[in-house]
Homo-oligomer: A and B are copies of this chain.
Amino acid sequence: MNRYMDVHDGFVGVTQTQLEAAHQRDLDVQAGEGVSFDQAWLDPDSGKVFCLSSGPSKEAIMRVHALAGHPTTEVYELRVAVS
């Protein structure tokens, strides 16, 4: 399993409830792709969303987000991390 960060634009003014609903749509379809969406963060002023996930490939991440109705092509494989 690899770790990924993906980025979405256009979520200006989105609320906590709306982000939770969008995230739930990912959770509803992710098992079919072997993906786990773990955390998501939103800056509602700029409309940027960052999603942290694990899965087998960038393409799997993109397919889950597309199926959930919020496609993105901006996906980064996080081969290095510190905490």
CA–CA, A79 and B15, complex, Å: 9
Main secondary structure of the interface of A (DSSP, over half): strand
Minimum CB–CB distance from A35 to chain B (whole Å) comes to: 15
Copy count, this protein chain: 2
Whether the Cβ atoms of A79 and B39 lie closer than 8 Å is no
In-complex Cβ contact of A19 among B39, B44, B82 (8 A): B82
Chain A, interface size: which category?
20 to 34
**Shortest Cβ-Cβ A-B pairs, 7 listed:** A43-B76, A42-B80, A41-B78, A39-B83, A23-B82, A41-B81, A40-B82
Residues of A within 8 A of B (CB): 3, 5, 14-16, 19-20, 23, 38-46, 48, 50, 52, 76-83
